[in-house]
């Protein structure tokens, strides 16, 4: 009966039969909607981690919105239907190309609260407390997502209340969860009980596919944003709920931190590769610079002749990845607080020098590149959406809570997860974060500073027109996945699906081992082992790449990753 009532409500809401709902999603039913993995479209396309969110975005395009409208509606819908990484309580980055040509980057990365300090996660025995930087209230940075949306809202055509209403509806009425989502929530139960002061709606004896997830508190938070703009989040009732949650659970985010948070418009990190222009995110994401370094280190090495996943190509890409990530650990951080030598690190001269000890017959041990110690953990929950429209706007947004479901703390009464992004700082030199990445002073904690990210929202242009809009989650594996996806397309001439779906691999300098995904060719692995490479345990999936390509006939080919429930939409 309960389910039937919801179905009825949905029918009324999504078919436009009620005048009170400002809905934008006519014609689809969240109870049966499975989405598509690939679409070919002429007018616009959206691809994201959740079919409902992609559907929300494409309906906005159909109503006359542009890529920014669709991206905002999709992003807000993801905050509801993809709570492990879509968010209001986290942050991220946008890279865009405006229809009249200019490129844009928006940084809405979380910030360290004013009360944060260099050694806040080191206890009195000198031990680094990664439990504190990764779990619960103290692991949260000041959220940036809502501020970011209000920065790029000015490039949108429709009003915020139109763009946010589908998210409000999905939160208030609920949506049906999949097998994968049920599994994610079931795995979370102990941590939810441990890290919350008010038990959130996600707590339940057992979730199963087909259950409806209703998020009333989150719907009210979204309504406050609809009615009061960014102040609906950073001030007033939502701010009160955040600060009271901090006080109950030992967090340090204050009213002042929230009021003073600002998203920043930045110059995209732009470079060229064989006639293409590639635009990515500058600091505080390492993504754009790492991609630049890796692409340039292979550019003159005729990798296409080596062939996709030949031993030679994988070895070259591994050595390139190793060198770029060694630089990440030493030199990269929030450039507003630390002088990052971007032009040196990306100069052709430096990158040629960087490869001087590359040996095509043997592994270069990471200790020869730079010493360090590390371990690895697998948790890489971030999410990406790509959007394009026929006006020529292209938007690439990656957002994150850091861990899956962030700190696992839900703001009591506000219904959204707080990030655990503080762990992306280097909490102590040489101590790895949850991705096994190490760092030093460049990425040390300072009040107000943004923690170094790996997010790599990317747009590839040819003759100043977008040809690829791409990004992925995956923590430190993000830049290597984008690197490999672009090399697969630009050098190996692969189809979009193959470029995304074929098994990926990853090397990040430390730990000195290659991480491979299930299906990576065993023969290549054993040849590389003979050359001195070590391999980590194989992984089920690396990244969830969401890509749109503009084909030579002008059509948009949108492909959603098969590693998750992701969906592509277009028209
Ligand atoms: N939290 C993952 C990243 O920003 O790279």
Q: What is the pLDDT of residues 93-142, one digit of tens each?
A: 999 999 999 999 999 999 999 999 999 999 999 999 999 999 999 999 99
Q: Whose CA is nearest to atom 2 of ligand 1?
A: 475
What is the biggest distance separating any 2 CA atoms in the chain, rounded to whole angstroms? Answer: 69
Give 259-273 pLDDT, tens digit per residue: 999 999 999 999 999
Q: Which residues contact 226 (CB under 8 A, 6 or more apart)?
A: 160, 161, 164, 165, 168, 232
**157 has a pLDDT exceeding 70:** yes
Strands 505-506 and 556-559: unpaired
Q: Whose CA is nearest to atom 4 of ligand 1?
A: 453
Q: Whose CA is nearest to atom 1 of ligand 1?
A: 402
Q: Whose CA is nearest to atom 3 of ligand 1?
A: 453
What is the pLDDT, as a whole number, of residue 28? 54
CA of 475 to the centre of ligand 1 (A): 5
What is the pLDDT, as a whole number, of residue 32? 65
* Pocket, ligand 1, Cβ cutoff 6 A: 382, 400, 402, 421, 424, 453-455, 475
Give 51-89 pLDDT, tens digit per residue: 999 999 999 999 999 999 999 999 999 999 999 999 999
Mutate to test the pocket of ligand 1, among 108, 291, 380, 400 (most ligand atoms within 8 A of CB): 400
**19 has a pLDDT exceeding 60:** no
pTM of the model: 0.93
Q: Is residue 318 among the annotated active site residues?
A: no
What the block records as the tokens of 349 is 């001269």
Q: Which atom of ligand 1 is nearest to the CA of 401?
A: 1
CA distance 382 to 452: 14
Q: Which atom of ligand 1 is nearest to the CA of 452?
A: 4
What is the pLDDT, as a whole number, of residue 30? 65
CA of 473 to the centre of ligand 1 (A): 8
Calculate the alpha carbon distances from 361 to 87, 107, 304, 315 in Å. Answer: 45, 41, 18, 9
What the block records as the tokens of 507 is 């090397």
**385 has a pLDDT exceeding 90:** yes
**What mean pLDDT comes out for the span 410-429?**
96
91-97, strands of its sheet edge to edge:
264-266, 103-108, 91-97, 394-402, 381-389, 44-48, 567-570
DSSP 381: E
Percent of the chain with pLDDT over 90: 89
pLDDT grade, residue 11 (50/70/90)?
very low
**1 has a pLDDT exceeding 50:** no
**361 has a pLDDT exceeding 80:** yes
Three-state secondary structure of 332-363: CCCCCCCCCCHHHHCCHHHHHHHCCCCCCCCC
HSE toward the beta carbon, residue 328, CA cutoff 13 A = 38
**16 has a pLDDT exceeding 50:** no
pLDDT grade, residue 33 (50/70/90)?
confident
Q: Which residues contact 175 (CB under 8 A, 6 or more apart)?
A: 30, 52, 80, 81, 212, 213
Nearest CA to 394 out of 168, 189, 196, 548 is that of 548
Mutate to test the pocket of ligand 1, among 378, 424, 481 (most ligand atoms within 8 A of CB): 424
**375 has a pLDDT exceeding 80:** no
CA distance 16 to 58: 16
> Pick the catalytic residue: 74, 130, 374, 382?
382
DSSP 542: -
**8 has a pLDDT exceeding 60:** no
**What mean pLDDT comes out for the span 448-458?**
98
DSSP strands (E only) in 275-342: 276-280
CA distance 72 to 230: 14
**282 has a pLDDT exceeding 80:** yes
What is the pLDDT, as a whole number, of residue 481? 98
Q: Which atom of ligand 1 is nearest to the CA of 435?
A: 2
CA of 543 to the centre of ligand 1 (A): 12
Calculate the alpha carbon distances from 307 to 363, 368, 494 in Å. Answer: 19, 28, 11
Nearest CA to 146 out of 213, 210, 221 is that of 221
Q: 320 in helix, strand or coil?
A: helix
Residue with tokens 């679409």: 39
What is the pLDDT, as a whole number, of residue 440? 86
pLDDT grade, residue 370 (50/70/90)?
low
pLDDT grade, residue 439 (50/70/90)?
confident
**18 has a pLDDT exceeding 50:** no
What is the pLDDT, as a whole number, of residue 431? 87
Q: Residue 121, Cα to own-chain centre: how many angstroms?
A: 25
Q: Which residues contact 104 (CB under 8 A, 6 or more apart)?
A: 94, 95, 96, 97, 98, 152, 155, 265, 268
pLDDT grade, residue 34 (50/70/90)?
confident
Q: Which residues contact 49 (CB under 8 A, 6 or more apart)?
A: 78, 82, 85, 86, 383, 384, 385, 473, 544, 546, 564, 565, 566
Nearest CA to 91 out of 413, 424, 378 is that of 424
Strands 556-559 and 546-550: antiparallel
CA distance 75 to 397: 8
Alpha helical stretches, state H, 378-477: none
What is the pLDDT, as a whole number, of residue 22? 37
CA of 93 to the centre of ligand 1 (A): 10
pLDDT grade, residue 40 (50/70/90)?
very high
pLDDT grade, residue 372 (50/70/90)?
very low
What is the pLDDT, as a whole number, of residue 430? 82
Calculate the alpha carbon distances from 110 to 58, 142, 329, 383 in Å. Answer: 28, 5, 20, 15
CA distance 195 to 362: 47
Q: Which atom of ligand 1 is nearest to the CA of 421?
A: 1
DSSP strands (E only) in 263-322: 264-266, 269-273, 276-280
Q: Which residues contact 416 (CB under 8 A, 6 or more apart)?
A: 79, 83, 87, 88, 89, 218, 221, 410
DSSP 323: H
What is the pLDDT, as a whole number, of residue 31? 63
What is the pLDDT, as a whole number, of residue 419? 98
The neighbouring-strand residues paired with 38 are 559
CA of 65 to the centre of ligand 1 (A): 30
CA of 452 to the centre of ligand 1 (A): 7
Query: From its phi and psi, is residue 210 left (phi > 0), alpha (psi between -120 and 50) or beta?
Result: left
pLDDT grade, residue 516 (50/70/90)?
very high
């Amino acid at each position: 009966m309960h389910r039937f009532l919801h179905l009825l409500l949905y029918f009324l809401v999504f078919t436009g039969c009620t005048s009170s709902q400002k809905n934008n999603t006519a014609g689809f039913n969240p109870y049966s909607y499975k989405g598509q993995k690939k679409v070919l479209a002429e007018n616009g396309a959206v691809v994201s981690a959740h079919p409902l969110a992609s559907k929300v975005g494409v309906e906005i395009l159909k109503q006359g919105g542009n890529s920014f409208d669709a991206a905002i509606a999709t992003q807000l819908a993801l905050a509801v239907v993809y709570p492990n990484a879509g968010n209001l309580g986290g942050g991220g980055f946008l890279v865009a190309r405006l229809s009249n040509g200019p490129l844009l980057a928006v940084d809405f990365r979380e910030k360290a609260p004013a009360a944060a300090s260099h050694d806040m996660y080191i206890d009195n025995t000198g031990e680094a407390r990664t439990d504190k930087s990764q779990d619960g209230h103290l692991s949260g940075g000041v959220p940036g997502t809502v501020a970011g949306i209000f920065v790029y809202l000015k490039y949108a055509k429709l009003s915020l209340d139109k763009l946010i209403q589908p998210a409000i509806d999905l939160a208030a009425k609920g949506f049906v969860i999949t097998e994968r989502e049920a599994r994610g929530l079931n795995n979370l139960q102990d941590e939810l009980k441990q890290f919350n002061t008010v038990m959130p709606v996600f707590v339940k004896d057992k979730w199963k596919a087909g259950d409806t997830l209703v998020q009333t508190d989150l719907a009210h938070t979204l309504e406050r944003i609809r009615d009061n703009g960014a102040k609906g989040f950073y001030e007033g009732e939502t701010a009160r709920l955040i600060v009271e949650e901090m006080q109950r659970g030992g967090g340090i985010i204050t009213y002042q931190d929230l009021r003073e948070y600002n998203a920043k418009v930045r110059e995209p990190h732009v470079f060229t590769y064989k006639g293409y222009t590639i635009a990515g995110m500058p600091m505080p994401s390492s993504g754009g610079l790492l991609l630049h370094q890796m692409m340039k280190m292979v550019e003159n090495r005729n990798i296409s002749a080596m062939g996709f996943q030949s031993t030679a190509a994988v070895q070259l890409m591994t050595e390139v990845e190793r060198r770029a990530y060694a630089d990440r650990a030493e030199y990269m951080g929030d450039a507003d607080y630390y002088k990052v030598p971007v032009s040196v690190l990306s100069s052709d001269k430096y990158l040629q020098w960087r490869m001087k000890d590359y040996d095509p017959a043997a592994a270069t041990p990471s200790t020869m590149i730079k010493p360090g110690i590390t371990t690895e953990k697998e948790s890489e929950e971030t999410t990406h959406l790509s959007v394009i429209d026929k006006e020529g706007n292209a938007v690439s947004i990656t957002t994150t809570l850091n861990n899956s479901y962030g700190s696992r703390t839900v703001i009591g009464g506000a219904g959204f997860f707080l990030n655990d992004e503080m762990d992306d700082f280097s909490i102590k030199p040489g101590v790895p974060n949850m991705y096994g990445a190490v760092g030093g002073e460049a990425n040390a904690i300072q009040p107000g500073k943004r923690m170094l990210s790996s997010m790599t929202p990317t747009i590839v242009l040819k003759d100043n027109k977008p040809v690829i809009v791409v990004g992925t989650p995956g923590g430190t594996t993000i830049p290597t996945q984008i690197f490999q996806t672009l090399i697969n397309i630009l050098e190996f001439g692969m189809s979009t699906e193959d470029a995304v779906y074929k098994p990926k691999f990853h090397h990040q300098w430390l730990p000195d081992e290659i991480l491979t995904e299930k299906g990576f060719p065993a023969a290549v692995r054993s040849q590389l082992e003979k050359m001195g490479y070590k391999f980590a345990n194989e992984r089920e999936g690396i990244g969830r790449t969401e890509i749109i390509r503009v084909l030579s006939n002008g059509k948009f080919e949108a492909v959603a990753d098969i590693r998750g429930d992701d969906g592509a939409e277009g028209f």
